[in-house]
Every structure is written in C-alpha cells, then in structure tokens.
Structure 1
C-alpha cells in the first residue's frame, strides 16, 4: 500500500479532533471527508477505517509510541506510524515519519499483545468490571469481538417492499447483499458502500440497523390494531420497525425527552410511509401519567453504557466513565418504575439495552420485579446477545407480562 500525504494528513486532523478536542468520531469523519470532493470511495474508506482503527486501539498504540494526552501533531504521527508498521505498510520518506523505530515497535507489540487490556485496548476499569461481570473467558472473547469493524446491515421496510425485491433493486445500483439467518427483515452488504445516496433509501425501502437491534421490536410481540408505546424512541429505528410489524394499523406513540430526536423521527417516518405514529415529548411526569394502563405494548429501549455497540462507536471506550455507569443505572431503574405504569393489565413490556453488563440488564429486571412497581409483572423470557457469539452488536432484551386483574 502506498500512503498519500493528503489522506494521511486528513487522518491526523481527525485524530486531533477526537483525542484532543473530544469530538465524536462519527461526526469528525463526516467533517473530514468533506475536505476534498475529488476523493474517491477508496480514499474515503482509507481515512475512515484508518482513523477508526487507531481510535479502537488507542491504548495499545499510545503505549507502544510512548505518548500521552494531550497529543501534539508529532505524537499523532507517531501513533499513525505504529499503525502502519504493525500492518506491514512501507513508511514514506516524510519528515513527520523520520526515525520511526520499526524494530522497537514490533518488539513492544509482541510483549503488550500478551496482556488483554493492552491487546484489545480497554481502560483498566472497563476491563476489570467486564471480567468480573462476564467471567474471564467470555470477556476475553467479547473484548476482541467488540473491536471488529461493524458490518453494514439493512432492515427491509416491509410497509413498502420485501427482501427479494429490495435485493434486486439494490443490485441494480451495484450494491450486493445477502440475507442473515434468524433475521427475517435483515440484509448484509457484501461490500461497504454509502447506501444513503441510493434511490432505494430515498424511497424509504430500508433503514440501516444492526442485526441485533432488529431483534428487539419482534420481541415485543405487537399485533396490528394495538396501542403500542416506544417510550425511549430516540431517532426511532425501533419505532419504525414496530410500525412495519403493526402494518400501519393501530396507534404507535413515540416518546422521548429530546424533542430534536423526535423531529428527526418524523422525517424518517414520512420516508418510510408510516401513518399510524405520533410523537410526544416527555417534558413532565404528566406525559406518562396520561397513558397509565393504556398501552397493549410498551418498549423501553433504555439509555445505557453502550458497551455492546463499541464496534460502531470505538471512541466511547475512552469517553465512558465509572460515574456515568452509576448514574445511568439509576435512570434505568426510574424508567422501569415509572414507564411500566403505561402497560395495561394483560399487556406486555420489553426492557432492552445495548449493554452486555448484567448490572444494567438482568439485575435491573430482577430488582424491578421484586419492587412495589413490578409486583404485577412476570418475566416471560430474556436474552443476552454477545458480539462474540452472534457476530453483531451486544444487546439484552427482557419480555415482561403484566398480570391481568381478572386472572
């Protein structure tokens, strides 16, 4: 591989924004890729993938390069040099890469790669916490799996098309896909491409949604004609999936504390041809109280640490803090306690997170069921999804039934 100066400099700029200015990696990549309109798909792919790889293995590379935050431009070039050497890429004769100690880099890698927290690049506290929670063997596998690049997965919008038709339409735009077992509405891209510029996307024939995330809406067992509430809707990926499962029949209420996210959801819903959805901002406790015992189904896709989706948000490893985890666990308990009141007798609730930690998942459900607020609920089933086993994001889902007063 021949390294091009303008592409490498773009990577350095991106790393500076992510590491020193604490910007989100996905937003930074979006910004940097606009530097030069002449860049082709391969150029853009190099910038994005190289940046993400260095972010992913930040701890390992900084240890090998012997650099500390805040990172000077020279230090960022040292990190890039480590990346290149470990991939067997010939370093060009640039002043920024002079005196790169190739043998020392390889030697330090051989030593550090025997230690999991360096090899897989996790902060001490995450590595210790996850091993205690999952056990050494599972966490070792999971830590590695969460460092793999996330594949591009599409969810077929069954309100407008079916899987075979969508495959054919995308193939005409030179985007090849394959189905995924146990995911009836999922298609996986054979080769990474920008699907958002396709006519199929503009026509609302699909959404980009990880295969694990696509399992959540079906877990709620919705039926056309029901009143269904997605109480932590966000930008609404699962809301739109619920709408298609309801066949646009019944009432679907998307709720969130952020009005800006619900506005984006409205745009997506129009593109998807969703007609049975309304949005409601949770700006006070009244929004929830108005719906007490009114819903057949409630989805609580709760805010969480996001440890299950590190593959697509590698910078979150370095942004996450123990204090945030403690705060979010309190929020999760409050959401379960308060929002579960919207389920009517005989109805169902799904509690879901994109975390792999039991303290955010099964332990939260257990505490809820033993509390006053959860005394009328019973656990029907739950499921842990691990990246090391599924090949997709880490998730947790629990299906709870509210006991019918008659029974």
Structure 2
C-alpha cells in the first residue's frame, strides 16, 4: 500500500479532534471525508478505517509509541507509524515519521499482547469492571467487541422482501447474504456505502445490527395494537415495530430529544410508515396521559453501550466509571415511571445494548421488588453476547402486567 500525504493528514486531524476535543468518531470521520470532493471510495475508506482502527487500539499504540495524554500532533504521527508497522505498510520518507524504530515496535507489540488491558486496548477500570461482571467470559467478549462490526441491513417488509432486495442491491454492486436466525436481515459481504443506493433512497431497508433486530419481535406485537416506544431516538426499532404491525394500529414514539424524533419522522416517510405519532417528553404530563393505555411498551433504555463497542470504539475512552453508576439510577427510574403506561394484561420489553448484568438482569430484579414492578412478572429474557453471536451485545426482557380481572 502506498500512503498519500493528504489522506494521512486527514487521519491525524480527525484523531486530534476525537482525542483532544471530545468529538465523536463518526462525526469527525464525516467531517474529514468532506475535505476533498476528488477522493474516491478507496481514499475515503482508508481515512475512515484508519481513524477507527487507531481509536480502537489507542492505548496499545500509545504504549508502543511511548506517548502520553494529552496527545499532540507529533504523538499521533508516532502512533500512525506504529499502525503502519504492525500492518506491514512501508513507511515513506516523510519528516514526521523518520527514524521510526520498526523492529522495537514489533517486539513491544509481542510483549504487550500478553497483558489483556493492552492487548484489548481498554482502560484499567473497564477491564476490572468487565472481569467482575462477566468472569471467565470477559476475555472472549472484549476480544469480540474489538472486531470491526459487520454491516447488516434490515429489509423493510412493508415495501419488499429479502430476495427482491438482495437482487436489487446486487445490481447496484453490493453482494449480500441471508442470516438464518434473523428473518429480516441481509449482511454485506464487502463493506460499502449502501446509503447512496436507489434501494436505500426508496426506503427498502435500514442499516441495523442483527442483535438490534431481535428487539421489536420480542414484544410479540400484532397489527391494530397501541404500542409505545418510550425511548425511540431516531427510530431504528420504531420502524421495525411499524413493519411488524403492517402499518396498522398506533405507535407512539417518545423521546426527550425532539431533534431525534424529527429524524424519525424523516426516516418513516422514506420507509412508507404512517402509523407513528411522535411526542417529545417535555414534562411528566406526556407520560401521565398515557397511563394504563399501551398494549405493548418498549423501553430501549439509555445505557453504557458496552455491547456496541465494535461500532463505537471511542466509547471506551469517553465512558467514565461514574457514568456507569449514574445510568443505572436513570434506568431504574425509567422502569418505574414508564411501566405505568402499560395497561392490565399488556406487556413491556426492557432492552439495553449493554453486556453488564448490573444494567440488565439486576435492574429487572430491583424493579420487580418496587410497588410499580409488583404488578409485573417475567415472561422471558435473553442475553446476547458478541462473542457468541458475532453481532452486538444486547439484553432484552419481556414482562407481562397482571390483569386485575383474572
């Protein structure tokens, strides 16, 4: 591989933003890709994948490069030289990376690969937390979460079916494969920009991880029901619910962020969905008005996101120990407040994209002991580990509310 100076400069600039200015990796990558309209797919792929790679292995590369935070531009050049060396890329004769000790880099990599927190490139506190929470499973799980996430599509069954979409995407140069255990899913065989396809613009699919595609069906919904998606965000799961309901019945999509709900409306138009009503939670009245009215409730709770590190590697560096405790309090209060929207005999799913029992099974145990939770019982629950599924880590629990008439 021959390195091009302007592409590498874009990588370094992106890393500076992510590590020093707190910019999210996906936002920084988007910004860097807009720098030069002449860049082709390969150039853009190099920038995006190199930035994500160095973000993912930041601790390991910084240790090998012998640099400390706050990372300066010269430090990032040293880390880039480590990235090249470990990939067998010949270093060009540039002043920023002259005198790179390639042999020492390889030796140091072999040494550090014996120690998990360096090998998997994670902060000490996170390594300790993972081991305490998952025990012997932590080794395999953190290794799986450090793999680049595959690109999975959810076929919009309101407009097409997997076979038709597969053929249409192939015509546009994207080869896909079916995933047996996920009936609405197609996985890209090679990464590519599917957002520019006619099939995407026509609303025939959404990009949605296979594990995430398990959540909507878990609710056991039927057309004609009243369903509340209480933490809808930009609506990936809301749209899946609408397809499951065949556009019949009512979905009320709630969120505290109005701008996310605007994005949901836009996506719903593209997907041909018209049974969603959005409401911003700007006061407690919004929830009170819906008390005892929902056949089904989805609480896709805010969480640490530890199950999706493979697609958000910068979360390893942005996440702080105090947030882990704080988010558990939020999750419990959401369960208590939002569960009141379920009517007698109705059901709710509590889901997270975390792998920590403290955010999952333990939250449910705690909730069932509360006054609000005493009306509910667990029907089924499922933990999806990345190391076992090959997709995001997830948890989902289906609970049913007692029907007082029974």
Alignment-derived partner of residue 330 in structure 2: 331
Alpha-carbon RMSD: 0.7
Alignment partners' CA distance in 1, 2:181 and 2:87: 35
Alignment partners' CA distance in 2, 1:155 and 1:401: 27
TM-score, normalised relative to structure 2: 0.99
Alignment partners' CA distance in 2, 1:14 and 1:104: 27
Q: Does 1:273 align with 2:244?
A: no
Alignment partners' CA distance in 1, 2:228 and 2:354: 22
Q: Does 1:73 align with 2:73?
A: yes
Q: Does 1:394 align with 2:393?
A: yes
Alignment partners' CA distance in 2, 1:133 and 1:181: 30
What is the SS of the residue equivalent to 2:374? coil
The CA deviation at 1:325 is 1.1
Alignment-derived partner of residue 188 in structure 1: 187
Alignment-derived partner of residue 372 in structure 1: 371
What is the SS of the residue equivalent to 2:185? strand
TM-score, normalised relative to structure 1: 0.99
Alignment-derived partner of residue 126 in structure 1: 126
Alignment-derived partner of residue 17 in structure 1: 17
Alignment partners' CA distance in 2, 1:383 and 1:55: 31
The CA deviation at 1:87 is 1.1
Alignment-derived partner of residue 114 in structure 1: 114
What is the SS of the residue equivalent to 1:375? helix
The CA deviation at 1:106 is 1.1
Alignment-derived partner of residue 53 in structure 1: 53
What is the SS of the residue equivalent to 1:151? coil
The CA deviation at 1:305 is 0.2
The CA deviation at 1:39 is 1.2
Alignment partners' CA distance in 1, 2:180 and 2:118: 34
1:287-298 to 2 correspondence within 5 Å? 287-298=286-297
Deviations 1:209-244 (A, max 9, x none): 000000000000010000000000000000000000
Alignment-derived partner of residue 382 in structure 1: 381
Alignment partners' CA distance in 1, 2:4 and 2:184: 40
Alignment partners' CA distance in 1, 2:405 and 2:115: 58
Deviations 1:20-50 (A, max 9, x none): 1110000000000111111111111111111
Alignment partners' CA distance in 2, 1:280 and 1:349: 19
Alignment partners' CA distance in 1, 2:323 and 2:38: 41
What is the SS of the residue equivalent to 2:298? strand
Alignment-derived partner of residue 249 in structure 1: 248
Alignment-derived partner of residue 239 in structure 2: 240
Alignment partners' CA distance in 2, 1:202 and 1:359: 40
Alignment-derived partner of residue 322 in structure 1: 321
- Superposition misfits of 4+ residues, deviation over 4 angstroms: none
Alignment-derived partner of residue 152 in structure 2: 153
Alignment-derived partner of residue 309 in structure 1: 308
The CA deviation at 1:261 is 0.5
Alignment partners' CA distance in 2, 1:86 and 1:215: 37
The CA deviation at 1:287 is 0.6
Structure 2 residue ranges without an equivalent (≥5): none
Deviations 1:225-273 (A, max 9, x none): 0000000000000000000000000011000011110011000001111
The CA deviation at 1:180 is 0.7
What is the SS of the residue equivalent to 1:39? coil
